[in-house]
Structure 1
């Protein structure tokens, strides 16, 4: 699908009335077959996919983006988003006024790219922190200045991932393959036993490799995948918390509730009640 010559233009003042506000965040949910019409902005924005898969169409072509992957868009960069899959997809968007974003670039020593920003991917730990900090910034009791400071920190972290090349000391191929395979629902719901089966390695060896290359234990990685999927189901279905817990591989509801609150700082019920979607499918 080609980009139109005159896409719709979104304006900062469409979403923000406070002249002191520099950041605005919200979620985008697209049902299967849904799309957001071609558009551009008079501000910067970036998004990271929380669940599912999006197709982003820009003037440079079409790119598929899945969990933990994202893109920074400059003012006047045109794009559209589409869900070509069979499952709902959710991303979290942060819009940034032009002066504030360019201030972050200057303060961090990041050069303004000559062309569009490249796509980027967050490591699992950075992705978890992104989810936590953006959720925290939505708490109504948080002071406005504190919220803006926190979102500025999030933007800085994303700029590092987008502008600084990946660490050259990559994990071995078998571990990178395993890391990707465990993202599949049929694998992470079965837990550590499935990880051992797929890798053919002992638990002790897996523990050492994950700590060395990913900075976390296999259990922490699997639980993060399960909890992320649980959050997605809480946002997009009316399935009971008990059934979601079981569907994500948790055998004990109390343990699920405890882990979920540690991860998201909200109970599953509170998380479901506070969902905040930016757009729905057209």
Structure 2
């Protein structure tokens, strides 16, 4: 199996990234390989199979694939069209820097430790925004500044709609449950409600969440609870006790502890800071 090195594909040693468009003709394959750098694949046309880490996952136009340096993968073109995708390759240390600086509280960032790399299906607006950013990157000097600017904008586009964080190949039942649990009336019920919405055994739900979402059911529910609480603190004058109860907490101290773990400050501090920002 071939292992690619970033230095072997970069046109110049000082280049921070490599951006290229790849066309895979119908019936052709890209053999399994690995590399010492991260990649982002953005499918523009066609459909096929992404063979990755011992599994085969369908891909099609509008899919965005975040390939980690540890992934072993290849492609096969299927359907009636060539498979066309844009590939952005960049050094592992850049990914490590972004994770440490901006996403240290997000275990599932860039796929986390899930078996499969993160895959997102972009909607029309996300495609338009991502396309505009890619055009800028294509014509920019290949510096770290322009790379990080593009990546941060792309991650913002992806994460601006939580339901879109579900991998494209995720089972439909888990995708529906992941979206439904974000509703406040369901979120109050916590992990029990999440598993009921899934309609599968507790063990099956736990395995699927780790495989497809890179987190446990408890971590998923807690994240949405804390984000909902933050919105209520920022946008309403409801009491913190009322907000914590709506999020399904009987213990206010437990709510405070989890909120601070998620947002870095207490609910009181979050509310004060938000009001100061809004009025400044």
**TM-score scaled by length of structure 2:** 0.51
CA 1:126 to 1:169, structure 2 compared with 1: closer, same or farther past 3 Å?
farther
Tell me the residue number matched to 1:114: 113
Stretches of structure 1 that go unaligned for 5 or more consecutive residues are 1-6, 171-282
CA 1:24 to 1:154, structure 2 compared with 1: closer, same or farther past 3 Å?
farther
Structure with higher Rg: it is 2
Tell me the residue number matched to 1:104: 98
> Equivalences for 1:111-150 in 2 at 5 Å?
111=107, 113-115=112-114, 116-139=116-139, 142-145=140-143, 147-150=146-149
Kindly indicate which of the two structures has a greater share of residues assigned to helix.
2
Partners of 1:129 and 1:22 in 2: CA distance? 22
Tell me the residue number matched to 2:21: 27
> Equivalences for 1:1-282 in 2 at 5 Å?
7-16=1-10, 18-109=12-103, 110-111=106-107, 113-115=112-114, 116-139=116-139, 142-145=140-143, 147-157=146-156, 160=159, 164=165, 168=179
Contact 1:23–1:151 under 8 Å retained in 2: no
Stretches of structure 2 that go unaligned for 5 or more consecutive residues are 167-174, 182-280
Number of paired residues? Answer: 162
CA 1:117 to 1:41, structure 2 compared with 1: closer, same or farther past 3 Å?
same
Once the 2 structures are TM-superposed, how far is the Cα of residue 43 of structure 1 from its aligned partner?
Answer: 0.7
Task: Report 1 or 2 for greater relative contact order, CA contacts < 8 Å, sequence distance ≥ 6.
Answer: 1
Partners of 2:120 and 2:68 in 1: CA distance? 15
Partners of 1:164 and 1:51 in 2: CA distance? 22
Root-mean-square deviation (CA), in Å?
Answer: 2.8
Partners of 1:106 and 1:20 in 2: CA distance? 23
CA 1:154 to 1:13, structure 2 compared with 1: closer, same or farther past 3 Å?
farther
Partners of 2:157 and 2:29 in 1: CA distance? 25
CA 1:87 to 1:17, structure 2 compared with 1: closer, same or farther past 3 Å?
closer
Once the 2 structures are TM-superposed, how far is the Cα of residue 17 of structure 1 from its aligned partner?
Answer: 5.0
